[in-house]
Amino acid sequence: MLTVGSYQEMDQNKYDENWLIVRKPDDFLPEFVKHVPAFSPSPDLFQKYREACQKKMFDQKFFNEVYVPQFVKELAENPEARALLQTLTDMSRGKNIMLACYCETETMCHRSIIAGILLGMGAEISTEQEYSNYYKLYQMMKKRVKADKWL
């Protein structure tokens, strides 16, 4: 079973694996934490997020219209991320894995997007059903990536 949460919720006794899905850890990571940057936003998207926060413009509208489409596109175009999504889907049936980052609010965090994609892929995951909408967008983006390869 997969669980999404914050860095503070990671627990080596509760989970078989703890994946920190950020570009760069804030500080030294405990030995039981696996750093997985392939599931983090690009530097460009992270910069857009930071600028929106500084301007007090990071809200649900910004998340839905700017952040989600770009992040899903990044995942769809990244072969490592696509392979990891499938690996996690398969692992979800036999291991307890925590996917975490530093954000406090899950609903406006990239981990909710990843959770929704995993849900759509059939992973055993404890998450909000509404996140499955991200899977539909991911499928569309993957088709575009395949179509672009033929051009």
Asked if residue 73 is part of any domain, the answer here is: yes
Residue 149 lies in a domain: no
Q: Does pLDDT of 147 surpass 90?
A: no
Domain of 86, in residue numbers: 2-144
Distance CA 150, CA 117 (A): 25
- In this prediction, residue 146 carries a pLDDT of 62
* 150 inside domain: no
Distance CA 126, CA 145 (A): 29
Contacts of 72 (CB under 8 A, 6+ apart): 113, 117, 134, 137, 138, 141
Structure tokens at 66: 């700017």
Residue 65, domain member (yes or no): yes
Comparing CA positions, the residue from 138, 112, 136, 137 lying closest to residue 125 is: 112
Give yes or no for residue 151 having a pLDDT over 50.
Answer: no
How far is the CA of 83 from the CAs of 2, 18, 38, 89, 127, in angstroms?
Answer: 16, 18, 10, 10, 21
On whether residue 107 sits in a domain, the answer given is yes
pLDDT, position 145 = 66
Number of domain units in the chain? 1
The pLDDT tens digits of the residues spanning 55-74 come to 999 999 999 999 999 999 99
Decide if 61 is inside a domain.
Answer: yes
